[in-house]
């Protein structure tokens, strides 16, 4: 089942990145919990469902960043969880400042759908959260 979870998460990321809302909706539970990134500005915040996630996290990003890309580098099987190692790129609005960082998310799958996402600024912390080491 866990390899199936990796494929569900991979497909959900691809659909999200491509802007395929229909496919994303098939792979993501409507009550998805999105937890603010550990070590990030939204740490401790929790958003439920796509509209709340958009309001809470995306609107803040859109104000600060002209461009933001999330590039999945690796999907790591951790049973019901999948750790996704990400390369993030951002360019500031107005300032043009460019930032690149290596982060991770832990994605929980239940019933064939993504039900929870927890971001981590530190990849080692994400792996440790699911009982793995790098």
Rounded mean pLDDT of 66-84?
92
The structural domains of the chain, ordered by start, are 2-129 (3.10.450.50)
Q: Using CA atoms, how far apart are residues 27 and 13, in angstroms rounded to an integer?
A: 10
Token code pair at residue 73: 């580098």
Non-local (6+) Cβ contacts of 111 within 8 A are 29
Q: Using CA atoms, how far apart are residues 79 and 108, in angstroms rounded to an integer?
A: 9
Classified as helix, coil or strand, 93 is coil
> For 1-14, how does the pLDDT look when each residue is reduced to its tens digit (9 = 90+)?
589 999 999 999 99
CB 96 within 8 A of CB 24: no
The pTM of the full predicted model, rounded to 2 decimals, is: 0.88
Instruction: Provide the pLDDT for residue 94.
Output: 84
């Amino acid at each position: 089942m866990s390899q199936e979870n990796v494929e569900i998460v991979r497909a959900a990321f691809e659909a999200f990145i491509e802007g395929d809302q229909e496919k994303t909706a098939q792979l993501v539970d409507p009550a998805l919990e999105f937890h603010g990134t550990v070590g990030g500005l939204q740490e401790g915040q929790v958003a439920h469902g796509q509209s709340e996630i958009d309001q809470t996290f995306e609107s803040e990003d859109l104000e600060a960043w002209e461009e933001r890309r999330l590039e999945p580098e690796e999907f790591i099987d951790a049973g019901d969880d999948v750790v996704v190692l990400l390369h993030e790129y951002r360019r500031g609005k107005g300032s043009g400042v460019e930032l690149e960082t290596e982060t991770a998310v832990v994605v929980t799958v239940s019933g064939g759908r993504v039900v929870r996402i927890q971001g981590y600024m530190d990849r080692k912390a994400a792996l440790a959260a699911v009982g793995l080491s790098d």
